Structure 1
Amino acid sequence: MSELIPSVLYQLGVGAICGFIIGFAIKKALKLLILLAGIFLSVLLYLGYSGIITINFDRLFDAVKNLFGLGEQISGWLILVISTLPLTGSFIAGLILG
């Protein structure tokens, strides 16, 4: 039992530190991606309003719905996460704090 505690503490520490670093990087990358997407959509809507282009909103909404249809691919990853719960839990805590 006494040999198990340092191993779990090590996993918790490493998971938290790695999660914090990766979470920080992901947040910065997503902010940049959202900014670029906002600029793109603003230009697209301006061009549509000006009459330079015509936007088919039905096809645009269908494309966005199909883009986010990744739910079935995540289930295999979720089983892996649950099997490594101590490391994953501290990683997610660090990810949220990052």
Structure 2
Amino acid sequence: MLNPFASATREDVMCTVRVVNTFENLAAHVELDDGVTVEPGDEVLVHGKPIIVPFGESAIERRKATITRATWLERKWTKMTGDLEFMELLEFSFSGEELS
């Protein structure tokens, strides 16, 4: 069994960053090279200056990224508590108006 208290490991990889700023879409997406996958609890830091894209345009840049791998204990904790935290992503609104 893996040591649950082992320190986190770091891995540097190249990545492609795509940023879109249009009326239909405001998005940023990172694709890691060489089929590298990110597991629950891992953190990815993309290096470099912020990518600023004017309205109506998109940009693609190559950057270096550092992946900090979660320890065994962090990974288990993330899996156990992840289902509880999804509620933070929801936005609720209540009003006094009746639905028609």
Q: Does the pair score TM above 0.5?
A: no
**Structure with bigger RCO (C-alpha 8 Å, 6+ apart):** 1
Higher helix fraction (1 or 2): 1
Higher strand fraction (1 or 2): 2
TM-score range, shorter chain: under 0.3
Largest Rg, 1 or 2: 1
